[in-house]
Amino acid sequence: MAAPEFAVPVLEEFPAVPALQPGAMAHNKPFVASAPLNGALGFPGELPEDWQPRAIAHMGELLHKYRSLRVFLDSCVHCGACTDKCHYFLGTGDPKNMPVARQDLLRSVYRRYFTLPGKLFPALVGARDLTREVLDDWFRYFNECSECRRCSVFCPYGIDTAEITMAAREILDSVGVGHKYVNEIIGKVHKIGNNLGLPGPALHNTVEGLEEDMKDETGEDVRMPVDEAGAEVLLVTPSADFFAEPHVYSLIGYAKVFHAAGIRWTLSTTASEAGNFGMFIGNYEQLHKVAGRIRQAALELGVKRVVVGECGHAWRVAYSFWNTLNGVGAGGDDHYAQLLQKQLDPRYKQPSHICEVTWDLIRRGALTLDKEANDHRVVTFHDSCNVARASRMGDVPGGQFEIPRAIIRAVANHFVEMAPGTTHEQTFCCGGGGGLLSDELIELRVKGAMPRMAALKNVVDQHGVNFMAMICAICKAQFTKVFPYYGFKMGMVGGVHQLVSDAIRLGAKQ
């Protein structure tokens, strides 16, 4: 690893709230999407002459479409409860990374054009004209928010900065100022079917290779079917699972679980991506279109269940939004929803998380597990933000915390929690979520990971933790990249189903 061009934060046992360093991250900004990338999503190629009235008009439209935006822009009292809650602020000290200050970048413009005091006395209420400088600040600082919702836990009005960030990015896209990495990925999903641009034949090749590996390892014919009509389960997983490490070990884990339980399942080349970056840019049409591929695959393959692999924001979209977007769910009485919901098996939650499937099988004694296989590991669990604060698993609130932990305890003997206040609903983002996983943002990513790294260091020092399990493809990619900056080994990062994969015993019960 080359020496970084920035100072990596020093990890303290109890990280202090930093003093303000105005402009500390002002140099940081993502690459702007090119005209073709924007055009592919129906956005203007570049900033048009009349961008300012267009941006304001678009804000007006969003105010009529999203109650969250309207209520959140009106309700903030500047109490300061959120000011020390954002990992990017804690890691950088840049005051514009305090959630309220980030929101105010947009709120100041809202006040100027949409409220009476802002029109009459802008200076008094902190209202600002939408200038090019303000727009540039939006592009910078709304791309320094991972939409992790940690601030929303602490806000007395439940103001969620993620909603503000999504609206701001949507407005930016509407005037041709897109984030290259994100818009490129959404384009790939439309064109090829997944974020990584992995075409169908490559997917077939990959899974064949993995099937051979599993045969060598277990002696069993564990299958990884693709596009098999009539399968019971359609597994939709982040495309990183197909070849990135350590993601692929979890994919192997899912295959072994289905094999051991005798569940007929399939992947789909149409729905070869669980992730949905449409959410990151707050664009409902993109969100809807990307989610539509899953609907299409489920209908074409005639599956009874849709199961989602280890991916944080994908699980948010699947759990919270799919029923709305593509009808994977229950209770729909309209034709669009019924068409799919009549096909899905009502005895199962639609969609289900792979952890719900695995935990259900473990509870019923359907899997043979050798916990000693993970005895060389001392495991901790990193709650991924979108799973923790924007979804659920199982039947009771908080199941998204308990079920992955229950699986870990069932497959490993040594499990340690990180400090309270850094896990469960108060978990810290990995630092690379929300579409910020691009190389040019590495300084932000390293610094934003600081709170999680500090919590991890404490359990590494005190309990010898050598494996951090998680259920998010972005977390996995981010941590394998930033761990070395903090002196941790990349191999400490892995999926919950990687642990399952190592512990599960296939074939005859022993």
Partner 1 sequence: MSAASLFFALLFYFATVVLVAGVAAKVYEFARTPAPLKIPTTPAPTTTFGVVLRMAREIAFFESLFKSNLWIWVFGWAFHFALLLVLLRHLRYFTEPVWAWVVWIQPFGMYAGFAMAGAAACLWARRFLVERIRYISTPSDHLMIALLLGIAASGLMMKFVTRTDIVAVKAFFLGLMRFDWQALPADAPLYVHLTLVAGLMIVFPFSKLLHAPGVFFSPTRNQVDDPREHRHLAPWAARLDA
By CB under 8 A, the residues from 173 to 192 that bind partner 1 are none
Mapped onto helix, strand or coil, the DSSP state of residue 327 is coil
Closer to partner 1 by CB, 374 or 422: give it: 422
Q: Can you tell me the distance from the alpha carbon of 437 to that of 181, in angstroms, rounded to the nearest whole number?
A: 8
The interface mask with partner 1, positions 233-272, x = CB under 8 A, is ----------------------------------------
Closer to partner 1 by CB, 218 or 324: give it: 324
Would you state the torsion angle of the CA atoms of residues 145, 148, 152, 153, taken in this order, to the nearest 10 degrees? -140
Interacting residues with partner 1 between 56 and 85 (CB under 8 A):
63-68, 70-72, 74-85
Instruction: Give min distance, CB of 438 to partner 1, in A.
Output: 25
Instruction: Give min distance, CB of 376 to partner 1, in A.
Output: 33
User: What phi and psi, each to the nearest 5 degrees, are found at residue 24?
Assistant: -60, -30
Q: Which of 25, 134, 159, 234 binds partner 1 (CB under 8 A)?
A: 159
User: What phi and psi, each to the nearest 5 degrees, are found at residue 191?
Assistant: -85, -45
Number of DSSP helices (H) and strands (E) in the chain, helices first: 23, 7
Interacting residues with partner 1 between 433 and 492 (CB under 8 A):
none
Distances (CA, A) of 409 to 372, 422, 448: 12, 20, 29
Span interacting with partner 1, options 35-43, 171-179, 283-291, 376-384, rule CB under 8 A: 283-291
Span interacting with partner 1, options 137-145, 240-248, 269-277, 397-405, rule CB under 8 A: 397-405
The reply on whether position 95 binds partner 1 by CB under 8 A is: yes
Q: What is the DSSP string of 205-225?
A: HHHHHHHHHHHHHHSS-----
128-146 b/e (C-beta count within 10 Å ≥ 16 → b): bebeeebbebbbbbbbbbb
The reply on whether position 425 binds partner 1 by CB under 8 A is: yes
Q: Which of 258, 265, 277, 319 binds partner 1 (CB under 8 A)?
A: 319
Instruction: Give min distance, CB of 255 to partner 1, in A.
Output: 25
309 closest CA partner among 380, 212, 244, 366: 244
The reply on whether position 420 binds partner 1 by CB under 8 A is: no
Q: Total number of residues binding partner 1 (CB under 8 A)?
A: 81
Instruction: Give min distance, CB of 26 to partner 1, in A.
Output: 15
The reply on whether position 10 binds partner 1 by CB under 8 A is: no
Q: Which of 50, 302, 330, 491 binds partner 1 (CB under 8 A)?
A: 330
Instruction: Give min distance, CB of 441 to partner 1, in A.
Output: 24
Closer to partner 1 by CB, 160 or 184: give it: 160
Q: Can you tell me the distance from the alpha carbon of 356 to that of 470, in angstroms, rounded to the nearest whole number?
A: 15
Span interacting with partner 1, options 140-148, 189-197, 393-401, 451-459, rule CB under 8 A: 393-401
Contact (CB, 8 A) for 179 and 467: no
Identify the helix (H) or strand (E) that includes residue 493. Answer: strand 493-495
Q: Cα 389 from chain centroid? A: 11
Q: Can you tell me the distance from the alpha carbon of 325 to that of 181, in angstroms, rounded to the nearest whole number?
A: 24
Interacting residues with partner 1 between 97 and 136 (CB under 8 A):
98, 100-101, 104, 115-117, 123-126
